[in-house]
């Protein structure tokens, strides 16, 4: 399988109160066509910033200070902005968190879809763009009549479908979805989850899913990356990472999820994520880690490969203590 | 949801769902046929043309919060649970029905001695929350407090932690020299420690979890008898949610308070609620002990809610979630005829379209407003 996207040693920096913070720090991964990666972690762990970096929309004064992002073999961080805009609009689409709430209330769904097409495909005729919009709506199981409606006439679930239709309209190679189900009701969440699953199967969609919801990750991802304080602390196949987490953070995070079955235990991670202005010495998770040893405070653990794809940044990952 | 009409208050027997540890009639709060309608703003002409159509946000809710229990009020957005919360909190007047609060032993020390609206109901002294006014509202608010969903917007950003906790104390006439001790005590209890470090901080310098603990501290500082928590963990990170749930459980144990826990999240409710009521489009559809409702749901809506909860199981990668529910929630402007769930229900038959099901008792303490309750509970396919 071909690599459709590679991120190499990416570092995104923001100036904050006189110092520089690394919101994304030495992150590397690659993605094959048709597969999906779930990136998860607590709020502030850098998962949305990573998505924005791939799209080249890091708000100033933040910037990519290190690393490369290769899409279709080309480094999109190094090319001119017009060229990279083209690639990103065409090849990579992003569904922003809460995008369904920022549809323009003054325009019909059709107007807003046409705007997207015109911005990227100047030579498309009106009838062609109309077909494109209708086809896209069909992909998300909405009828063409929805095109003539205004956002306030649609339910939350329908708006989210419209947003997904817009992202799919230009037939992107990669779809990045930032919290595609948050702020929806549970049943609608499950319906949207099913839609994304269906799109993965029927269109062979390559998906990067950004979410704090470990249940959603399990539904939609082949690979999982767990972020903590700007870094990947564990990366691997869904089955190995969920089945036998090698990082205590992953283990504790999975245990913190409230479930409807199994033993009813209250489990949580004490403390809070570090302030990135002054991250702790050694392992960044050490102040919250119940398995901390002196080595964890002295030495920053590097991501280490186990087997063919499982990577972990923990000094004690092989001790089987959790 | 059991038929808790006025007369049942005098002779409530097996009909009333009761936790084994709590003797019957020991209710802390009870609503009787509680309704609240809203009317949209309309022009004069359309007002003359036809009578206004109400939005039936709460449409006949009978629920009982027992002493020292945590009752989970579960439902999706727009089901009316927030309206129920606001009605019970006394922030909104009902369109109909009653809210009875059992005041219990009242310390006669305060100025709050006369309660003009309280009535004798059998041998129990109850407050009619819907009729409260003036001093008695103040008394009710000292007894029943609120924890809000959003710990980021429910504090005045210009107040320090001390100021936030002092305000309810001064409003309710606690002497100035006592306040400091109470504030320090509650901070200690909610583990915002070391206390001296937190007293002069502003809410924006606190983390989400700390803010929500401050919200709990504010709700408890007057030592209330009941706490109403509206989605208290839904804005928090997964990693710290259980901390807040644990704190709520601990306070219930220590202070022996009753609690209404309104949430859309069944799995959070499972962790701390003794009993659950499930709400759909303004009405309760199921009521029972938490384990019963989750393990053997007897209403098709509860069944769908449970099916929709995502579980972090890698095996789920290969499934399409089987959702036994059709379409989307209708508007409360046009509540369907008969059973209000019937247009979305895979079990629906002719009777469901015509006749609204009453709460049907299917087990001790377990009620479902569904004509097919027994079938649903036994897992018989539609």
CB atoms within 10 A of CB B4: 23
Domains of chain B: which residue ranges? 19-281
Interface test with A, best of B40, B234, B238, B279 (most A CBs within 10 A): B238
The pLDDT assigned to B104 comes to 61
Tell me what percent of the residues of chain B surpass a pLDDT of 90: 72
Determine which of A93-107, A189-203, B71-85, B113-127 has the lowest per-residue pLDDT on average.
Answer: B113-127
The pLDDT assigned to B272 comes to 95
The pLDDT assigned to A1 comes to 53
B239 → closest Cβ in A193, A256, A264 = A256
A165: phi then psi, degrees, rounded to nearest 5? -60, -45
pLDDT at A10 over 90: yes
Residues 6+ apart with CB under 8 A from B56: B35, B37, B281, B282, B332, B333, B335
What are the structure tokens assigned to B310, written together? 């995502």
Confidence bin at A174 (pLDDT 50/70/90): very high
Q: What is the pLDDT of residues A116-133, one digit of tens each?
A: 888 888 788 888 999 999
Cα–Cα nearest to B148, from B248, B233, B251, B268: B233
Q: How far apart are CA A276 and CA A15, in angstroms?
A: 11
Q: How far apart are CA A145 and CA A116, in angstroms?
A: 19
Question: Helix or strand or coil: residue B65?
Answer: strand
A212 → closest Cβ in B238, B266, B311 = B238
Which H or E run contains B261?
strand B258-263
The pLDDT assigned to B25 comes to 52
The pLDDT assigned to B220 comes to 97
Highest mean pLDDT among A180-184, A216-220, B138-142: A216-220
Q: How far apart are CA B14 and CA B208, in angstroms?
A: 43
Q: Per DSSP, which regions of chain A are E strands?
A: 3-16, 19-32, 36-40, 63-71, 74-75, 92-95, 174-178, 206-210, 223-228, 231-237, 304-306, 310-312
Contact yes or no for B317 and A242 at CB 8 A? no
Q: Is A258 on the interface with B (CB under 8 A)?
A: yes
Q: What is the DSSP string of B268-303?
A: HHHHH-SEEEEEETTEEEEEEEHHHHHHS--SHHHH
pLDDT at A21 over 50: yes
Q: What is the pLDDT of residues B308-355, one digit of tens each?
A: 998 999 999 999 999 999 988 998 889 999 999 999 999 999 999 999
Q: How far apart are CA A153 and CA B91, in angstroms?
A: 30
B109, B124 contact by CB (below 8 A)? no
A173, A52 contact by CB (below 8 A)? no
* pTM, full prediction: 0.90
Q: Is A1 on the interface with B (CB under 8 A)?
A: no
Mean pLDDT of chain A: 93
The pLDDT assigned to A183 comes to 84
Interface test with A, best of B207, B314, B320, B330 (most A CBs within 10 A): B314
Alpha carbon distances (Å) from B113 to B109, B123, B139: 8, 19, 9
Calculate the CA dihedral of residues B82, B85, B89, B95 and round it to 10 degrees.
80
The pLDDT assigned to B19 comes to 35
Q: Is A199 on the interface with B (CB under 8 A)?
A: no
B191: phi then psi, degrees, rounded to nearest 5? 60, 40
> Any idea what DSSP says for residue A45?
S
ipTM score assigned to the predicted complex: 0.91
Q: What is the pLDDT of residues B131-185, one digit of tens each?
A: 988 888 888 999 999 999 887 788 999 999 999 999 999 999 999 999 999 999 9
pLDDT at A11 over 60: yes
The residue ranking higher by pLDDT, A82 or A207, is A207
Alpha carbon distances (Å) from A244 to A36, A236, A294, B47: 20, 10, 25, 65
Fold of B19-281: Rossmann fold (3.40.50)
What are the structure tokens assigned to A171, written together? 């037939």
Q: What is the pLDDT of residues B74-125, one digit of tens each?
A: 999 889 999 999 999 999 999 999 999 987 654 333 333 333 344 444 445 7
């Amino acid at each position: 399988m071909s690599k459709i996207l590679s991120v190499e040693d990416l570092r995104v920096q923001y100036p904050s109160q006189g110092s520089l913070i690394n919101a994304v720090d030495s992150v590397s991964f690659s993605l094959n066509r048709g597969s999906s990666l779930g990136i998860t972690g607590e709020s502030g762990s850098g998962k949305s910033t990573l998505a924005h970096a791939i799209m080249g929309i890091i708000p100033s004064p933040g910037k990519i200070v290190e690393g490369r992002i290769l899409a279709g073999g080309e480094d999109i961080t190094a090319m001119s902005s017009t060229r990279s805009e083209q690639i990103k609009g065409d090849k990579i689409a992003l569904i922003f968190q809460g995008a369904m709430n920022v549809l323009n209330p003054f325009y019909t769904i059709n107007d807003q879809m046409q705007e997207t097409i015109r911005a990227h495909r100047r030579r498309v005729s009106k009838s062609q763009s109309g077909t494109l919009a209708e086809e896209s709506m069909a992909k998300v199981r909405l009828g063409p009549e929805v095109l003539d409606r205004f956002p306030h006439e649609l339910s939350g679930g329908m708006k989210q479908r419209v947003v997904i239709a817009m992202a799919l309209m230009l037939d992107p190679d990669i779809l990045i979805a930032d919290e595609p189900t948050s702020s929806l009701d549970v049943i609608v969440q499950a319906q949207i989850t099913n839609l994304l699953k269906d799109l993965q199967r029927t269109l062979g969609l390559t998906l990067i899913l950004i979410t704090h919801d470990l249940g959603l990750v399990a539904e939609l991802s082949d690979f999982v990356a767990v972020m903590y304080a700007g870094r990947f602390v564990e990366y691997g196949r869904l089955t190995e990472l969920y089945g036998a987490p090698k990082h205590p953070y992953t283990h504790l995070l999975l245990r913190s999820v409230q479930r409807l079955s199994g033993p009813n235990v209250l489990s949580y991670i004490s403390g809070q994520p570090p302030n990135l202005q002054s991250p702790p010495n050694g392992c960044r998770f050490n102040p919250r880690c119940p398995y901390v040893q002196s080595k964890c405070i002295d030495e920053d653990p590097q991501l280490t490969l186990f087997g063919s794809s499982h990577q972990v940044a923990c000094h004690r990952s092989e001790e089987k203590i959790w | 949801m059991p038929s808790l009409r006025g007369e049942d208050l005098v002779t409530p027997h097996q009909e009333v769902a009761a936790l084994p540890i709590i003797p019957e009639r020991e209710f802390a709060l009870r609503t009787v046929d509680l309704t609240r309608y809203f009317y949209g703003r309309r022009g004069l002409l359309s007002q003359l043309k036809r009578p206004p159509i109400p939005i039936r946000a709460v449409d006949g809710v009978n629920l009982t919060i027992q002493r020292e229990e945590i009752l989970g009020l579960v439902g999706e957005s727009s089901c009316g649970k927030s309206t129920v919360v606001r009605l019970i909190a006394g922030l909104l007047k009902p369109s109909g029905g009653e809210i009875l609060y059992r005041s219990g032993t009242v310390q006669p020390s305060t100025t709050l001695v006369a309660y003009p609206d309280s009535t004798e109901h059998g041998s129990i002294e109850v407050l009619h929350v819907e009729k409260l006014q003036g001093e008695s509202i103040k008394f009710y608010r000292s007894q029943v407090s609120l924890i809000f969903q959003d710990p980021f917007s429910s504090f005045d950003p210009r107040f320090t932690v001390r100021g936030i906790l002092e305000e309810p104390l001064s409003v309710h006439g606690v002497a100035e020299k006592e306040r400091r001790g109470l504030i320090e005590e509650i901070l200690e209890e909610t583990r915002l420690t070391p206390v001296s470090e937190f007293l002069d901080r502003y809410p924006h310098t606190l983390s989400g979890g700390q803010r929500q603990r401050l919200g709990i501290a504010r709700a408890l500082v007057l030592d209330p008898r009941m706490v109403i928590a509206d989605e208290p963990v839904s804005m928090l990170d997964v990693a710290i949610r259980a901390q807040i749930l644990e704190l709520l459980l601990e306070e219930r144990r220590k202070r022996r308070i009753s609690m209404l826990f309104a949430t859309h999240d069944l799995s959070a409710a499972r962790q701390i609620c003794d009993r659950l009521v499930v709400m759909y489009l303004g009405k309760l559809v199921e009521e029972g002990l938490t384990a019963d409702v989750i393990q053997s749901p007897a209403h098709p809506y509860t069944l769908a809610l449970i099916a929709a909860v995502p579980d972090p199981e890698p095996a789920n990668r290969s499934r399409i979630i089987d959702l036994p529910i059709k379409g989307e929630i209708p508007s409360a402007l046009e509540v369907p005829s008969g059973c209000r769930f019937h247009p979305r229900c895979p079990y629906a038959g002719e009777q469901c379209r015509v006749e609204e099901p009453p709460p049907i008792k299917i087990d001790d303490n377990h009620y479902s407003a569904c004509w097919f309750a027994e079938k649903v509970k036994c897992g018989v396919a539609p």
